[in-house]
A and B are shown apart, each in its own frame.
Chain A
Amino acid sequence: MSESLVVEGLEVRHGGVQAVRGLSFEVRPGEIVGLIGANGAGKSSTLHAIMGVAPVTGGDIRLGKLSLRGRRPEEIARAGVALVPEGRRIFAELTVEENLKLGLAARRSRGAEAGVLSRVYDLFPIVEEFRRRHAGALSGGQQQQLAIARALVAEPDVLLLDEPSLGLAPTVVDVVFEALATIRSSGLAVLLVEQRAQRTVALADRSHVLANGELRLTLGPENANDTAAMVEAYFS
């Protein structure tokens, strides 16, 4: 039922700049794969390419047997890929509940919405508590939880997160990382782009270090304290 995300020889080019070069990796159901690296290493470009909002100039992206390359973002979302965008991109003028309902747009099953809503409310109680408020009135951490909840109500196979801990207080970062572990155990394939390298390596099943658009190093949770290797890969 659940599908793997396979990225194969991905090339992304923005104007004259080659952002991603020949990148290959796989995210299977029930796995978190981390993408770490310095700014401009190609992490976000990879997510944008998967989601159909960055130009793919080579390689392929597949969800199970379905190629996502060249599809429109709404088709990719409806195929089962959900993105928690950088900066959260919450609809500030809509209520929290309306933001969640937007997440239902990509939902494939036509079953009852109440069940899926109650599952994300269990994961993020704060979202339920504030569901009638305008999303713009939430704090940054609450908005981040809403952004993840909004992606989850679509019941995707693959969850992409673009720096979900950016700008959050340490306690909220804990909430987010704990939620990611729970999401993994529910059988989703999670692809996590992060700046917090050490935490990501500790949490993820595999973490790929990108530099200059290329995969330089792959680390497992056992390498979380091997900062020397990480630093070397970052600047290679």
Chain B
Amino acid sequence: MTLAVLNIDWQTLTDAVALGAIYALMAVGIGLVFGVLRLVNFAYGQLVMAGAFALALASQWGWPVWAGIVLCFAVVLVLSLAMDRLVFRPLRSHSPAVMLVATFAVAFLLQSVAVLWFGSLGKIATSLAYLNRPVTISNVDIRKITIVAVIVALACLLALTALLERTTIGLHMRAASMDFQTARILGVRANRVIAVAVLLSGALAAVVAVMLTVQTPLVTPDFALRDTIIVLAGVVLGGMNRPVSATLGGFAIGFASGLLGGALPTDKSQYLPSFLFAAVILVLLVRPRGLFARKGAVERV
């Protein structure tokens, strides 16, 4: 492959930034729960899928846009809390492997329920489709969703950072993700910290559902599945143990896949995941702790 094939134009570039922004939000959502539970939630994509079906149903019923978004948040948040109560909490004292397998089970369960209820052909969410129309800024056509996605992602990340850095529950969450047992000994309530992390993670999944349905209005039971796998690779790529590095990893892999997707000729686009994961393997061979991981913190005696 030569560089001449990579004919990247401004529109590809901005789309890649938008995809990076959305993936960064998913990475944060996965990273928040990993922080307090040391658990990779493989069912994260199914939360997004559930939110997307909520949006599709709302637009099928002719609900106004805001009502559809409210329904989307309600469905995803309720599902997240249910997941915490019915799966994470009872299994928390078990080994990480047990919890990991449990999230696989939840993922397949939710996907099967979606197939049963909505069929495998899926539904169409059209209410926000107008965001796909472009605006022209100095001769470059940029889809409105691109701008919206970047602004929304930045706003979410800023709000989350403020919550983690400035509030008591944020401090408790940070401490819990560093050393859960010591945090509990100091009086930090484990169940509350986990519930808040799960809820925030769910809220981000709902935001992602809204933005992905604009990009891909056809909502099928495997909606967001491929994105989740790519984001998980991105989170590992960036470095799991810190929210910042996970976010950067998510952004990087979203940006890269947006760029590659736009640059690869159409007949070669099926190779996109191969290129992506080859790049991930290469990076991890060179920097096993992740691309953006800090060097080991100095410990003094």
Contacts and interface: CB of A to CB of B under 8 A. Distances in A.
Contacts of B189: 74
Interface stretch (B177-185, B209-217, B254-262): B177-185
- Most chain A CB within a 10 A radius of its CB, from B174, B190, B301: B301
Interface stretch (B26-34, B97-105, B292-300): B292-300
Interface string B258-301: 00000000000000000000000000000000000000011111
A85 B182 contact: yes
Interface string B140-176: 0000000000000000000000000000100110110
Nearest to A51: B185
Interface string A129-160: 00000001011100100000011001000000
A102 B181 CA distance: 13
B175 A94 contact: yes
Contacts of B172: 102, 105
A83 B185 contact: yes
A196 interface: no
A175 interface: no
Given A78-B187, A102-B186, A91 B175 contact: yes
Contact of A136 (B171, B185, B298): B298
A167 interface: yes
A157 B181 CA distance: 21
B181 A73 contact: yes
- B interface residue count range (under 10 / 10 to 19 / 20 to 34 / 35 or more): 20 to 34
- Most chain A CB within a 10 A radius of its CB, from B171, B178, B185, B301: B185
A155 B300 CA distance: 28
Contact of A89 (B168, B182, B297): B182
Contacts, number: 72
B175 A150 contact: no
Contacts of A51: 185
B74 interface: no
A110 to B, nearest CB: 13
A92 B178 CA distance: 9
A138 B188 CA distance: 24
Contacts of A82: 186
Nearest to B301: A140
A101 B185 contact: no
Contacts of A93: 178, 297
A197 interface: no
Contact of B186 (A77, A92, A167): A77
Contacts of A8: none
Given A74-B189, A105-B172, A136 B297 contact: yes
A93 B300 CA distance: 13
Contact of B190 (A74, A78, A92, A101): A74
- A interface residue count range (under 10 / 10 to 19 / 20 to 34 / 35 or more): 20 to 34
Given A74-B190, A85-B185, A89-B182, A102 B171 contact: yes
A92 B171 contact: no
A73 B185 contact: yes
Contact of A154 (B181, B182, B187, B298): B187
Nearest to B165: A98
Contacts of A107: 187
A151 B182 CA distance: 11
B297 A92 contact: yes
A68 to B, nearest CB: 13
A53 interface: yes
A14 interface: no
Nearest to B189: A74
A119 interface: no
A103 B175 CA distance: 11
Given A93-B297, A136-B300, A140-B301, A102 B184 contact: no
A223 B187 CA distance: 37
Contacts of A151: 186
Contacts of B174: 94
Contacts of B179: 89, 91
A22 to B, nearest CB: 26
A10 interface: no
Interface string B32-67: 000000000000000000000000000000000000
Interface of A: 51, 53, 72-74, 77-78, 82-83, 85, 89, 91-94, 98, 101-103, 105-107, 136, 138-140, 143, 150-151, 154, 167
14 contacts: A78-B187, A85-B185, A92-B299, A94-B178, A101-B171, A102-B171, A102-B172, A102-B175, A102-B188, A105-B168, A136-B299, A138-B300, A140-B300, A167-B301
Given A74-B184, A136-B299, 4 more contacts: A73-B184, A74-B187, A101-B171, A154-B186
Shortest beta-carbon contacts, A-B, top 4 = A106-B187, A77-B187, A105-B187, A89-B182
